Amino acid sequence: MKKRYFLILSLVILLFFELSCGKRERIPKNPKIYIIGLDGADWDIINPLIESGKLKFFKKLKEEAAWARLKTFKPTLSAVVWTSIATGDRMIKHGIVDWLYVSKNNIKVPYTNAEKRVPSIWEIFDYYNQPSVVLHWYVTYPPDHIKGVMVSDAFADAMSGIFFRNEKIEEYRDTVFPEFYYRKLYNLLSKELKEKGLGYKGMIKYLEIPDYINMYLNKYHETNVKKVPILSSWRRYILKDYIGEKTFYYFMKRGKYNLFMWYSRMPDVFKHFASVFLDKNYLDKINELIKEGKPISKTVEKEFEKKLAPIVAPILKHKEKILKAVYNKAKEEGAYVFILSDHGFTLSSKGYDHHALPKSVPPPDGILMILGPGVKKGHEIKATVLDITPTALYLSGKPVGKDMDGKVLLNAFIFRRKVRYTIYKKKKKIRRKKNKEINKKIIKDLKTIGYI
């Protein structure tokens, strides 16, 4: 009799143990890592759209993620911050401290990948013989010669020169590594653009966004868009965003990688002029406040963001497709996904912006969501842009850089593993390429957005 009780009891305990352990997620030792960058995205625009039911997938992601209002720093320049995200280091250490610097020939040139002083996360994966796919990430021209593929941030601009101004294809072969893929991508895009005759209308249809050029001309009864420089180059930004998405799906499907990084600039570019679509009377009221030069109250800012959110919605809504594709693939693979931005925007006496803010105004928080096995779902954490690379290395089973300024976001996970450290040195120094055409394009772009 006693023996039978004992047997039943141990069976119950075993069953209970199995059920509870079975339920606990298996924490992978060497998972794939996805890092998706949406420049300029912020919760103060996304949250109202989640509440109004417009961004259902962002809602789902936020419920399943450990998320944060991601702390960024000043100067809140994208080139500088995205480099900190990809290195775990402050600008003084990685060396990209501004958009431009004065070269030996005493001319102002853009900082490039060749000026970086510390290894980026994709180089660290390379040290472990693991391939990466890195698409359009800021300051990646000239690309690093790593296992996998790097489509540098100069590629899309190069394509717009080739497709819009008949520039020479050969001129820009070095915007992609290995070059084999440069030709492949050019053929893919020219098939779409030339053979199918996909123009501006076709691309905005694909990107599911309104025709903002016409919307502006109708709203202000204008005959041209000269007053809004970004709209003057809007076709180029649309082409770049389109190329961004096409290369994303191309490599999601074909790429062999342990690390997949994709960057889109569209939310940031659009938010730099989106306020022109606000109600005219309301916009005049805001412009009056800005002209007074006094600090803008939180209430006024909240109301402004609530009114601006529906205008930004189409841009973010369409990007949900990209996020869904990553989410589904990562779920299958038991991989981790980081979805983040480098900064948000804020309304101040300098207008609605993120850089050149008044001293008293802090840099506007970006967004962070981490998804994957053992993540504390729906849990808000504290995090900075410096913590992404250390946390991604930790999750992928690699030691963290001893001298990295960022830290591992341990509080995002239900499990705890020992954080190992090592010293990572930059192994391959890439020679700076004098590509005057690319420099010109970068400088033209910075002027169009109003950064310089």
Task: Please give the distance of CA 179 from its chain centroid, rounded to a whole number.
Answer: 24
Shorter beta-carbon distance to Zn ion: residue 257 or 270:
270
For the record, the structure tokens of 284 come out as 């005049």
Nearer to Zn ion, 78 or 84 (CB): 78
Region binding Zn ion by CB under 5 A among candidate stretches 73-81, 90-98, 186-194, 411-419: 73-81
* DSSP-derived secondary structure for 146-160: -SEEEE-TTHHHHHH
Q: Of the ranges 60-68, 194-202, 261-269, 298-306, which one interacts with Zn ion (CB under 5 A)?
A: 261-269
> Is 416 exposed, middle or buried (CB count within 10 Å of its CB: 0-12, 13-18, 19+)?
exposed
> Minimum CB separation from Zn ion for residue 217, in Å?
28
**Token code pair at residue 323:** 């996020």
**Which residues ranging from 34 to 63 are in contact with Zn ion (CB under 5 A)?**
39-40
Smallest distance, Zn ion to C-beta of residue 289, A: 25
Nearer to Zn ion, 84 or 258 (CB): 84
Stretch that binds Zn ion, among 32-40, 167-175, 217-225, 318-326 (CB under 5 A): 32-40
Q: Which of 47, 78, 435, 439 binds Zn ion (CB under 5 A)?
A: 78
DSSP string of 32-67? -EEEEEETT--HHHHHHHHHTTS-HHHHHHHHHSEE
User: Which among 77-85, 100-108, 132-140, 276-284 is the span making contact with Zn ion, rule CB under 5 A?
Assistant: 77-85
* Other Cβ atoms within 10 Å of 449 Cβ, number: 18
Residues between 374 and 433 with contacts to Zn ion, criterion CB under 5 A:
none
268 binds Zn ion per the rule CB under 5 A: yes
Of 193 and 322, which has the nearer Cβ to Zn ion? 322
Using CB under 5 A, count the residues that bind Zn ion: 5
The pair of structure tokens assigned to 452 is 């310089």
Q: Does 342 bind Zn ion (CB under 5 A)?
A: yes
| Binding span for Zn ion by CB under 5 A among 76-84, 160-168, 174-182, 388-396 | 76-84
Q: How far apart are the first and last CA of the chain?
A: 86
Q: Which stretch binds Zn ion (CB under 5 A): 263-271, 275-283, 360-368, 437-445?
A: 263-271
**Minimum CB separation from Zn ion for residue 72, in Å?**
9
Read off the amino acid at residue 269: V
> Are the C-beta atoms of 218 and 210 separated by less than 8 Å?
no
Reading the block at residue 16, the tokens are: 């209970």
CB of 357 to Zn ion, least distance (A): 13
> What distances in angstroms separate CA 17 from CA 71, 315, 316, one per listed residue?
41, 47, 43
User: Quick one: 40 or 143, whose CB is closer to Zn ion?
Assistant: 40
440-446-451 Cα angle (round to 5)? 150
Report the alpha-carbon distance of residue 447 to residue 452 in Å, rounded. 5
Identify whether the C-beta of residue 420 lies closer than 8 Å to the C-beta of residue 439: no
Q: Counting contacts by CB under 5 A, is residue 72 touching Zn ion?
A: no
User: Under the rule (CB under 5 A), what is the footprint of Zn ion?
Assistant: 39-40, 78, 268, 342
